[in-house]
C-alpha cells in the first residue's frame, strides 16, 4: 500500500520560546483541542511528575526549567501532528538545536510583554539556517503588554522576514476583548478561563465595520479597526511558498492560559505547515514517499525511566514506513537491529508503536547500539547529514576521588557524551578527561547524573582551555603532522574527531597562521 496518504497527513513541528513565554501552557492547550488529553493541567502535571519520578530532574525542579525534550503525537482534523518539546533554558540549547533538525516547521511563542527574547533568537538562527518555516504566536494578551504594531515590527526585524497577521488583537490586559480573524473577517470575543473547545459556544461578530463591535468595545475596537485597515494596505499578502521558504511568518495573537487564539494556531498548522519533505544524506536526497524505511537518530536520552536502565534513541522517520519487528541496519557499523518495543510518546506515557510513517518520531530502547546522528535503513548505506555539534564555550577537567571508579567514570562519560548531554574530550597527551559545555548548567547535570546513574562521585577541576575547534585537512598527512606537532593541545571527542584546544583566541590565530592548510571548525556536523 502506498504510504503517500499517511505521509500527507503528517505535520511535525517544535515549539520554540524563551522560558516562561508559555510554551508548556500552549502545548497543553493544543493537546486539549486535539482531544489527546482530557483534563487541563496534565501537561503541567507531567512537568511536576517528571520531577517526582526521575532523580536527575531534581536539578530541573531546583531551577524551574525544562531539561528534557519529549514528543507528543495527536490527531486533529484528520491530520497526525507530532509536537516536539524543546528545553527552553539556554544551557540546553545543544539539545534543542538537534531537535530542530527533526521537524518540518516551528511555532515560536512570544511573551507579548517581552517581545523576542535572547533564547528565542539563538533558536531562530538555527531555524533560519535550515530554512524552517516559522509560525508566530504572541501570547499573554490578557496582560498589559506592548502595542501589537510595535511587537510585529520587532518580530519582523529580528526574524528578518515579514510577519503576516492572521489574527489581530482587540485591546489588551483587562480590556482585552478578543481577536479579529483577518481571513474569515470576523471577531471572536474573549472569554477568560473557559475551556471551551467547540465553536458552538463562541461569541462571533461578523465583519470589520460591524456597529455591534464598535458599540461593545469602544476605543479599543476603533484602534484595532484602524490598525487592521493599515495592515491590509501595507502588509504583504500571505504567500504559502514564501512561508515554506522561511521568508514569511503567519502571526497570531492570543492567551494560551485562557485557551484563546489557540485553535487558530492549530488550524494553521494543519492548513499551512508543510508535510514531511525530502532529507539530505551524503549519498543522495531521500524522498519521504520512498517505499523503503529510513530514519535518523537526533536525540538520545539515557535512563528516562530509572526503573529500566535503558537509553532511548529518538528517531525521525525520514522515508517509508516502520513496522514493529522489522530488521534495521545501523549504517555507521552495519549492525542489525530488530526493535520489538518501539515506543511513541504521549504525555510521557510510553505507547507501543506498530507502525510509523515518514514525519513520525519513534523511540528505540537500546543499550548503546545507537548513537546521535545514526542512520537506520532496510539495508541501503545512507548517512543523513545536518546534525550539529557546537564547539563548547567552557571546559572542566574531571577527576574521581576513588581510583577504582575510573572505569565507571569513563563508561558514564562515554554514554552521556553519546547522548549529547555534554561533550567529552580525551587529551592526546593522556591527561584528565575534559568536559566541554555550551552552557554552565550542563556540568552540574552531568556531575549529578554521574552520581545518581553511575555511582561515581566526580569532581570538576577547572581547565585552562576556553576554546575548541575541530580540525580537518584535505591532506591527511598534513593533518597528522599538525596533530603530532601540537600533541599537548589536541583532544579527541566521542567519535574520535580531533580538536585543537586553546586558552585564548590569539593561540588559535597563531596556530591557524602557522598551518594555513588546516581548517578550524566551530561546528561539527555529524557525518
Ligand atoms: P514555559 O513553558 O514557556 O516556560 O511557560 P509556561 O507555560 O510554564 O508559562 C509560564 C507562566 O506564564 C505560567 O505562570 C503560566 O500560567 C503563564 N501564562 C501562560 N500563558 C499565559 C497567558 O496567556 N496569560 C497569562 N496572563 N499568563 C500566561 P506561572 O505563574 O509561572 O505558573 P502557574 O502557577 O500559572 O502554573
In this predicted model, which residue has the larger pLDDT, 84 or 137?
137
User: Rounded mean pLDDT of the chain?
Assistant: 85
pLDDT-derived band at 168, boundaries 50, 70, 90:
very high
In this predicted model, which residue has the larger pLDDT, 420 or 151?
151
C-alpha distance from residue 97 to each of 125, 144, 255, 395 (Å) = 10, 32, 27, 20
pTM, full prediction: 0.82
Neighbours of 206 (CB within 10 A): 11
Q: Which residues line ligand 1 (CB under 6 A)?
A: 17, 19-25, 44, 88, 139-140, 142-143, 255-258
Q: Are 405 and 350 in contact (CB under 8 A)?
A: no
* CA separation for the pair 187, 177 (Å, rounded): 9
| pLDDT for residue 64 | 37
In terms of DSSP bridges, do strands 279-280 and 285-286 run parallel, antiparallel, or are they unpaired? Answer: antiparallel
| CA 21 / ligand 1 centre spacing (Å) | 7
Mean pLDDT of 468-493: 95
Interface predicted TM-score of the whole assembly (ipTM), two decimals: 0.97
Q: Residue 350: is its pLDDT beyond 80?
A: no
* CA separation for the pair 247, 238 (Å, rounded): 11
Q: Residue 218: is its pLDDT beyond 60?
A: yes
Give 59-76 pLDDT, tens digit per residue.
Answer: 444 443 333 447 888 888
Quick check: helix, strand or coil at residue 215?
A: helix
Mean pLDDT of 129-135: 89
Find where cell 569513563 sits: 410
Q: List CB contacts of 489: < 8 A, sequence separation 6 or more.
A: 500, 501, 502, 507, 511
Q: Are 434 and 465 in contact (CB under 8 A)?
A: yes
| pLDDT for residue 442 | 82
Burial 166-178 (b: 16+ CB within 10 A, else e): bbbbbbbeeebbb
Mean pLDDT of 201-213: 90
Lowest mean pLDDT among 115-124, 154-163, 233-242: 115-124
Mutation choice for ligand 1 from 257, 260, 262, 265, CB with most ligand atoms inside 8 A: 257
Name the residue at shortest CA distance from atom 22 of ligand 1.
140
Q: Are 360 and 426 in contact (CB under 8 A)?
A: no
**Could you tell me where the DSSP H helices lie in 319-474?**
406-419, 441-454
Q: Are 177 and 171 in contact (CB under 8 A)?
A: yes
Q: List CB contacts of 152: < 8 A, sequence separation 6 or more.
A: 163, 165, 251
Lowest mean pLDDT among 44-48, 148-152, 199-203, 363-367: 44-48
| CA 192 / ligand 1 centre spacing (Å) | 14
| CA 193 / ligand 1 centre spacing (Å) | 13
Mean pLDDT of 491-505: 92
Give 245-289 pLDDT, tens digit per residue.
Answer: 999 999 999 999 998 888 899 999 999 999 999 999 989 999 999
Quick check: helix, strand or coil at residue 323?
A: strand
In this predicted model, which residue has the larger pLDDT, 198 or 23?
23
Amino acid at each position: 500500500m502506498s504510504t503517500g496518504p499517511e505521509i500527507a497527513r503528517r505535520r511535525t513541528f517544535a515549539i520554540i520560546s524563551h522560558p516562561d513565554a508559555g510554551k508548556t501552557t500552549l502545548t497543553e492547550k493544543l493537546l486539549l483541542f486535539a482531544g489527546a488529553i482530557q483534563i487541563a493541567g496534565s501537561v503541567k502535571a507531567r512537568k511536576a511528575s517528571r520531577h517526582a519520578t526521575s532523580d536527575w530532574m531534581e536539578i530541573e525542579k531546583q531551577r524551574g526549567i525544562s531539561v528534557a525534550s519529549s514528543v507528543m503525537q495527536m490527531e486533529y482534523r484528520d491530520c497526525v501532528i507530532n509536537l516536539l518539546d524543546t528545553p527552553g533554558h539556554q544551557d540546553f540549547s545543544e539539545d534543542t538545536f538537534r531537535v530542530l533538525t527533526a521537524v518540518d516547521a516551528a511555532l515560536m511563542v512570544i511573551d507579548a510583554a517581552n517581545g523576542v527574547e535572547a533564547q528565542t533568537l539563538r533558536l531562530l538562527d538555527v531555524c533560519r539556517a535550515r530554512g524552517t518555516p516559522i509560525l508566530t504566536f504572541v501570547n499573554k494578551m490578557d496582560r498589559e503588554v506592548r502595542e501589537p504594531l510595535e511587537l510585529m515590527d520587532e518580530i519582523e526585524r529580528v526574524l528578518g522576514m515579514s510577519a503576516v497577521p492572521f489574527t489581530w488583537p482587540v485591546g489588551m490586559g483587562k480590556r482585552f476583548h478578543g481577536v479579529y480573524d483577518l481571513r474569515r473577517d470576523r471577531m471572536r470575543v474573549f472569554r477568560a478561563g473557559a475551556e471551551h473547545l467547540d465553536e458552538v459556544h463562541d461569541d462571533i461578530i461578523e465583519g470589520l465595520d460591524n456597529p455591534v463591535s464598535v458599540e461593545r468595545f469602544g476605543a479599543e475596537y476603533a484602534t484595532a479597526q484602524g490598525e487592521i485597515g493599515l495592515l491590509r494596505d501595507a502588509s504583504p499578502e500571505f504567500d504559502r511558498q514564501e512561508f515554506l521558504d522561511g521568508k514569511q511568518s503567519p502571526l497570531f495573537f492570543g492567551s494560551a492560559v485562557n485557551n484563546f487564539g489557540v485553535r487558530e494556531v492549530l488550524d494553521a498548522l494543519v492548513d499551512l505547515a508543510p508535510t514531511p519533505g525530502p532529507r539530505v544524506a551524503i549519498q543522495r536526497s531521500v524522498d519521504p514517499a520512498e517505499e523503503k524505511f529510513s530514519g535518523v537518530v537526533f536525540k538520545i536520552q539515557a535512563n528516562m525511566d530509572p526503573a529500566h536502565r535503558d537509553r532511548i534513541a529518538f528517531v525521525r522517520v525520514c522515508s517509508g514506513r516502520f513496522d514493529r519487528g522489522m530488521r534495521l541496519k545501523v549504517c555507521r557499523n552495519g549492525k542489525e537491529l530488530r526493535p520489538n518495543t518501539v515506543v511513541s510518546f504521549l504525555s510521557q506515557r510510553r505507547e507501543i508503536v506498530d507502525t510509523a510513517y515518514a514525519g513520525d518520531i519513534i523511540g528505540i530502547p537500546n543499550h548503546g547500539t545507537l548513537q546521535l546522528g545514526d542512520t537506520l535503513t532496510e539495508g541501503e548505506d545512507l548517512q543523513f547529514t545536518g546534525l550539529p555539534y557546537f564547539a563548547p564555550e567552557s571546559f572542566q577537567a574531571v577527576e574521581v576521588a576513588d581510583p577504582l571508579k575510573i572505569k565507571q567514570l569513563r563508561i558514564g562519560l562515554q554514554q552521556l557524551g553519546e547522548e549529547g548531554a555534554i561533550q567529552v574530550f580525551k587529551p592526546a597527551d593522556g591527561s584528565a578527561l575534559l568536559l566541554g559545555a555550551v552552557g554552565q548548567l550542563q556540568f552540574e547535570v552531568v556531575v549529578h547524573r554521574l552520581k545518581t546513574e553511575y555511582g561515581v562521585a566526580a569532581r570538576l577541576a577547572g581547565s585552562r582551555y576556553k576554546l575548541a575547534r575541530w580540525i580537518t585537512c584535505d591532506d591527511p598527512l598534513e593533518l597528522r603532522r599538525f596533530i603530532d606537532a601540537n600533541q599537548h593541545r589536541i583532544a579527541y571527542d566521542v567519535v574520535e574527531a580531533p580538536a585543537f584546544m586553546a586558552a585564548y583566541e590569539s593561540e588559535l590565530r597563531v596556530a591557524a597562521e602557522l598551518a594555513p592548510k588546516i581548517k578550524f571548525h566551530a561546528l561539527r556536523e555529524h557525518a
